[in-house]
Amino acid sequence: LIYIYFNACEFISQLASHKYFRIIQNSSPTFTGKEVITIYVFEILQNMRTVKSIHSYIKIYLHFYL
pLDDT per residue as tens digits for the range 24-60: 666 666 777 788 788 888 888 888 878 888 888 878 8
User: For residue 21, what pLDDT band results from cuts at 50, 70 and 90?
Assistant: low
Q: How far apart are CA 47 and CA 15, in angstroms?
A: 27
Amino acid at 25: Q
Query: What is the pLDDT, as a whole number, of residue 27?
Result: 64
Rounded CA-CA distance 34/1 in Å is 12
Angle, helices 33-45 vs 51-63, to 10°: value is 110
Instruction: Return the top range by mean pLDDT from 3-7, 18-22, 33-37, 43-47.
Output: 3-7
Q: Looking at residue 26, what is its pLDDT?
A: 65
Q: What is the value of pTM for the model shown?
A: 0.61
